Amino acid sequence: MSDTTVSQAENETNMFLFWGCFIALITTAFGFITRMFLLDDPAIVATLGLDPAEVGAFKGIQVWPFALSIIIFSLIIDKVGYKFSMMFAFACQFIWAVMGVFALSTIDADPERAKFLIYWGGLILALGNGTVEAFINPVVATMFDKDKTKWLNILHAGWPGGLVIAGILVIFMGELPWTIKLATIAIPAIIYFLMLIKVEFPKQERVAAGVSYKDMLSEFGILGAAVVGFLVTLQLMDFFPEGNKMVFMGIGVAMVVAFGLYTKSLGRPLMFVLILIMMPLATTEIGTDGWISGIMSSVVTFHAGWILVYTSFIMMVLRFFAGPIVHKLSALGLLILSCVLAIAGLWFLSFAQGVAVIFAAATLYALGKTFFWPTMLGIVSEQTPRGGALTLNAISGIGMLAVGTLGFPYIGALQADKEIQAVKPLFASVQEDQLLTDKKIYEIIPYQVLNMEKVNELVVDKAPEAEQANLKDKIDTARKGSGQKALASMTIFPLIMLLCYIAMWFYFKSKGGYKPVSLNDGH
């Protein structure tokens, strides 16, 4: 067989494997958007008895475990293999489908059980989705090692692609039972499983180059481990609110100390900077995507899910054409421009009214968020190739861990605050403690929510009977328009990123310009 024939056969195998990975990522988006739409359904939320921040926690549970599975599998994936990881991911996604369908089929008869299944099913879904990322990212980076940013962008067109397909399906299903809507995740899951179960996966770039396991961990270092330890500690405190907080902090410290004793390395400074940037990045993209339908549902007359579908369609199309754009602007130039567009988009969305203006603002936001995630993966893979699967996947894991533990609940708390600010003027002579209830997220982020039971009592006590109906209408109107205003506060996340990317641009310029690090060249 000639070299040309071998090369052609190898390319065909690589492309088949690539599209299997692409469909696996589509499956994660199916699970994400169908569950997010479920938790944006007022009837479902009312039946489960959740306030906005608690809805954020329910949304967060399908995000932060993603981080744990992607990081854990990154540590062991070279030992257990890509195929085992793929099978584990499929099993988790299928189990969630069964749990979700069962929960919603019995929600009216037993809402507490449904609440339990939907919450913990989100965790299982997240473990599966994280494992998908754990194997697809290093596989694609290895197959296309000379053009990583381009192909990682194309690969991650599968995420918005899945959001578009699943979003349209759910919207057009209309009044069909949620059991059917949630079960749609089984379709792409079965397809990628059948595609990949017999495929031979390549050896990871770091392994092929002979870089040791310890060297891989050293790229991540103590600083990276400290971030993971901190976020994991917060999540343990939330999971076990009655537990001893010192024990959880001890677990987090022990993780970092053990990592440090083994690696004896603080890690690459650039890697630590990228880790820190990834936290607001994930909140800007995934956090906003998870909340956007719920936030905008009260200010639009159409299904608010169309906004997410529309922005996801823009992302999908642009990521397929990422190669020429990256070559024209450079990775950092693209990220700087993306931050500016995301800031403008979120700001205009916070007060946009009317279909045309809302979709114009959404266009700006979509253009901004499109290249954030995959371009960051490309930079990490190009700058820390010795980190292998760990650094490439850990950056995604930490981003998801941050948005799940802090981002989603914090955005919910922002909405609660805007709701308070909108309603308070209607009760100018009333003390705040008569309107509000104090709460905390992870015992470290205090926030307040309107106590609607107290508010309704005040309406009866303070307003003449003839004016009570009018006052209630004013309260409802104020509450409905308040969530949208929280989008303006969320511009802080891309603003932080913008400042960091500008600093990185000047750093690389002082070094002669941005250049990928190649293991094969010995750099």
- CATH number assigned to the domain comprising residue 177: 1.20.1250.20
What is the Cα Rg of the chain in Å? 23
C-alpha 249/C-alpha 253 separation (Å) is 6
Higher model confidence: residue 113 or residue 522? 113
User: What average pLDDT does range 72-79 have in this prediction?
Assistant: 80
Taking the C-alpha atoms of residue 254 and residue 252, their distance in angstroms, rounded to an integer, is 5
Residue range 307-361, pLDDT digits in tens: 888 888 998 999 888 777 777 878 899 999 999 999 999 999 888 888 889 889 8
Parent domain of 239: 3-418+484-510
Residue 65 lies in a domain: yes
The answer as to whether 447 is a domain residue is no
| Residue 478 belongs to some domain of the structure | no
Q: Over 421-467, what HEC string results?
A: HHHHHHHCCCCHHHCEEEEEECCCEEEEEECHHHHHHHHHHHCCHHH
**Beta-strand (E) ranges in 52-210?**
none
Q: 386: which DSSP letter?
A: G
Is residue 109, in this structure, part of any structural domain at all?
Answer: yes
The answer to whether residue 391 is domain-embedded is yes
> Residue 469 falls within a domain, yes or no?
no
Q: Which helix (H) or strand (E) holds 366?
A: helix 355-369
Q: What is the pTM of this model?
A: 0.78
What confidence tens digit (pLDDT) does each residue in 15-73 have?
A: 899 999 999 999 999 998 899 889 888 888 888 888 777 787 788 788 778 878 888 88
Domain count, the chain: 1
Nearby residues of 180 by Cβ (< 8 Å), 6 or more positions away: 173
Categorize the per-residue pLDDT at 523 as very low, low, confident or very high, splitting at 50, 70 and 90: very low
| Tokens encoding 302 | 């159409």
> Is 339:494 a contact under the CB 8 Å cutoff?
yes
Local structure of residue 296 (DSSP, 8 states): H
**Does residue 104 lie in a domain region?**
yes
pLDDT(521) > 60:
no
Instruction: Please report which confidence band the pLDDT of residue 274 belongs to, taking 50, 70 and 90 as the band edges.
Output: very high
- The mean pLDDT of the chain is 84
More confident residue, 92 or 156: 92
Any domain includes 281? yes
**Residue 428 main-chain phi, psi, to 5 deg:** -60, -35
The counts of H helices and E strands in the chain are 25, 2
